[in-house]
Amino acid sequence: MKNNEITWGLKRSASLLAAGLLLALSANAAKAESVLRVGMTVSDIPDWSGQPDQGYEGARFVGWSLYDSLINWDLSRSDIEARMAPGLATEWAVDPQNDKRWIFKLRQGVKFHDSCEWNAKSALWNIERLTVQTVPQFNPVQYARQRSRTGNLDRAEVVDDYTLAIYSKTPDALFPYNFYNWFMISPCAGEAAKYDYSEFAKHPVGTGPYKFDKVNPRERLELVKNAEYWDKKRIPRHDRLVLLPMPESTTRTAALLSGQADFIEAPAPDMIDRLKESGAQIYTNEYPHVWVYAFNTRKGPFSNVKVRQAANYAINREEMVEMLNGLAVAAGSTYSEKSPFFGGAKPYDYQPEKAKALLREANCSPCEIRIAMSNSGSGMMQPLSMNELVKEQLEQVGFKVTLSVVDWNSIMSISQKGWEANPDYDAVNGANPIIDPVSAIFRRYTTASNAPQGLNWGWYNNAKVDELAKQAQQTFDVGKQTEIISEMHRLTTEDPPLLFVVRDLNPRALGPNVKGFVQAQSWFQDLTPITVE
């Protein structure tokens, strides 16, 4: 009896000890997990099942975390504009025998998070997922999102296990720019989900530096470190990434200040000083962005180049920067002087007398214009106050401005349909991502891109620019191609299709416990080097 009691007592003690040890271990494990919580500006979690929605913010946080593209970005430096870098393709070049055939050499030894092999077959599966309407993996919504990158894509074919050929419809030396945001998902997972993307979204699988863990729609997406990521330099230095949609800037700022977030996008400008006081780190950097107005060059005052130039000389950009608390830099042209495509352009500066003289020469006094603007939107910064200031500055030189405020969806509709469908407007306010020459110049300033076929809202037409565009597309030597694009930039600054105002400095605030972030000059950012103490 006594022995039994002793045995029972020993067993009990042992189990208690074991339980205690387990608890202690699990507590330590939980304590050891480092978590990076990011407050995004979007109002919902960007689609995490392949091609994200919600613009470049979706790609920035969801796309580049879960997935890779054939071509990635080198986001490791803050001192130069980010460049394209090998991703799931290690090299790419046009076929010397066929200028419509591009050969992509694929990275070997890469596996998706579900151990599915990355090879030419899976690359082809992904290309067709967004281009071929008859294949089972075709995703119509994501196809639509990717349309601006697939217009000139003819077809793709497997050459061997690790080589893929992609054909363009017409010779296009700028073709690779279409592949940097083309996220590769696991064909095995897609097939297991029976090509039902809502099913795939329950456990999305890519090759990216983070793996999916769980999601609470509209509230949070939780990803965990992919310790086997193929790019060893980019294995996350924290264990978990939590993405939180927080559309209101005051809320994001309060979340950081109260310790509910570690990293926030675009803090409230009037709370920057308070953030600094609390020890938060404010990061700013230039990136390929320009806040502009697209001129209606076919009807109304802006059909005269002198009026377009006058508007550009009328803007006191320094005053705008001051109003924005220093969170922007002046922009007098599409590209800044730091860009390889800047060339010999002469950016506009503030010359009110010259603006007045140009308006007199154009015989436009008072020069009545009507501008469409939105009250919010992607890359729009502080549109209400900024438009008010632009109106005031334009009126000081002789313009008479009427601002028409509409919501973001409406401004997108106006922009897409072009001036012809909206002849009452002389200009439309917008923010241009000048991430590559295709989106910065070719889709905005060429006749072939006249809206609604492209982004040239005001049907800007310059025969020299059109000719250079053709030359650039057929020039496969990158150096010569850069020279041609630089010349296009010079011409489109001299004869401006847009009113250039400022470039956003893309402020971000990080808690005092967050280290290692390098703010790249890009719409995308690398979160993997961040440590959370």
Partner 1 sequence: MIGYIIKRMLYIIPVCLGVTAVCFALMYLAPGDPAQALLPPDATPEDAAYLLRLYGFDQPVWVQYGRWVLRAASGDLGVSLQSQRPVFREVMSALGNTAVLSAGAVLLAFVLAFILGTVAAYNIGSRIDQASTTLSITGVSVPNYWLGIVLVIVFAVELGWLPAAGMGSAGSDSFSLTDWAQLRYAILPIITMSVLPLGIIMRSVRASVAEALGQESIQLLRAKGLPPYAILTHAVKNAFPQILAVMGLQFGFLVGGSILVETIFNWPGTGFLLGKAILTRDVPLLQGTILVLSISFVIINLVVDVLQSIFDPRVRRT
Residues in the site for partner 1, rule: CB under 8 A? 43-44, 47, 53, 140-141, 144-148, 151, 197-198, 201, 216-220, 244-248, 250-251, 254-255, 257-260, 274, 406-410, 412-416, 443, 449, 452-455
> Is the Cβ of residue 82 or residue 451 nearer to partner 1 in the bound state?
451
> Is the Cβ of residue 310 or residue 428 nearer to partner 1 in the bound state?
428
User: Which tokens belong to 454?
Assistant: 């492209």
d(C-alpha 533, C-alpha 356), whole Å: 57
User: Which tokens belong to 240?
Assistant: 């978990």
Q: Are 373 and 383 in contact (CB under 8 A)?
A: yes
d(C-alpha 209, C-alpha 377), whole Å: 29
The 8-class DSSP code of residue 456 comes to B
> Is the Cβ of residue 101 or residue 220 nearer to partner 1 in the bound state?
220
CB of 292 to partner 1, least distance (A): 13
CB of 449 to partner 1, least distance (A): 7
CB of 469 to partner 1, least distance (A): 15
DSSP SS3 for 145: helix
d(C-alpha 439, C-alpha 118), whole Å: 29
User: Which tokens belong to 143?
Assistant: 């196809």
CB of 203 to partner 1, least distance (A): 15
Q: Are 373 and 391 in contact (CB under 8 A)?
A: no
d(C-alpha 187, C-alpha 113), whole Å: 11
- Cα–Cα distances (Å) from 455 to 70, 86, 270, 281, in that order, read 26, 28, 34, 37
> Is the Cβ of residue 165 or residue 412 nearer to partner 1 in the bound state?
412
> Is the Cβ of residue 284 or residue 376 nearer to partner 1 in the bound state?
376
> Is the Cβ of residue 26 or residue 416 nearer to partner 1 in the bound state?
416
Q: Are 240 and 34 in contact (CB under 8 A)?
A: yes
d(C-alpha 454, C-alpha 443), whole Å: 6
The alpha-helical segments, DSSP class H, found in 33-119 are 55-58, 64-66
Q: Categorise residue 372: left if φ over 0, alpha if ψ from -120 to 50, beta otherwise.
A: beta
CB of 118 to partner 1, least distance (A): 26
The alpha-helical segments, DSSP class H, found in 365-417 are 383-397, 408-417
Q: Are 495 and 31 in contact (CB under 8 A)?
A: no
Q: Are 329 and 502 in contact (CB under 8 A)?
A: yes
CB of 337 to partner 1, least distance (A): 27
User: Which tokens belong to 467?
Assistant: 């000719």
d(C-alpha 125, C-alpha 189), whole Å: 12
CB of 421 to partner 1, least distance (A): 10
- Cα–Cα distances (Å) from 207 to 32, 142, 143, 441, 464, in that order, read 25, 18, 20, 32, 44
Report CA Rg, the chain: 26
CB of 245 to partner 1, least distance (A): 8
User: Which tokens belong to 3?
Assistant: 């022995």
**φ, ψ dihedrals at 398, nearest 5°:** 125, 0
> Is the Cβ of residue 38 or residue 362 nearer to partner 1 in the bound state?
38
CB of 198 to partner 1, least distance (A): 6
Q: What number of H helices and E strands is found in the chain?
A: 18, 21
CB of 109 to partner 1, least distance (A): 33
Beta bridge partners of 62: none
- For β-strands 98-106 and 35-40, DSSP reports them as unpaired
> Is the Cβ of residue 40 or residue 75 nearer to partner 1 in the bound state?
40
> Is the Cβ of residue 327 or residue 414 nearer to partner 1 in the bound state?
414
CB of 406 to partner 1, least distance (A): 6
Q: How many CA atoms lie within 13 A of 228 on its CB side?
A: 10
> Is the Cβ of residue 73 or residue 197 nearer to partner 1 in the bound state?
197
CB of 433 to partner 1, least distance (A): 10
> Is the Cβ of residue 157 or residue 219 nearer to partner 1 in the bound state?
219
> Is the Cβ of residue 257 or residue 520 nearer to partner 1 in the bound state?
257
CB of 218 to partner 1, least distance (A): 5
> Is the Cβ of residue 351 or residue 449 nearer to partner 1 in the bound state?
449
Amino acid residing at 418? G
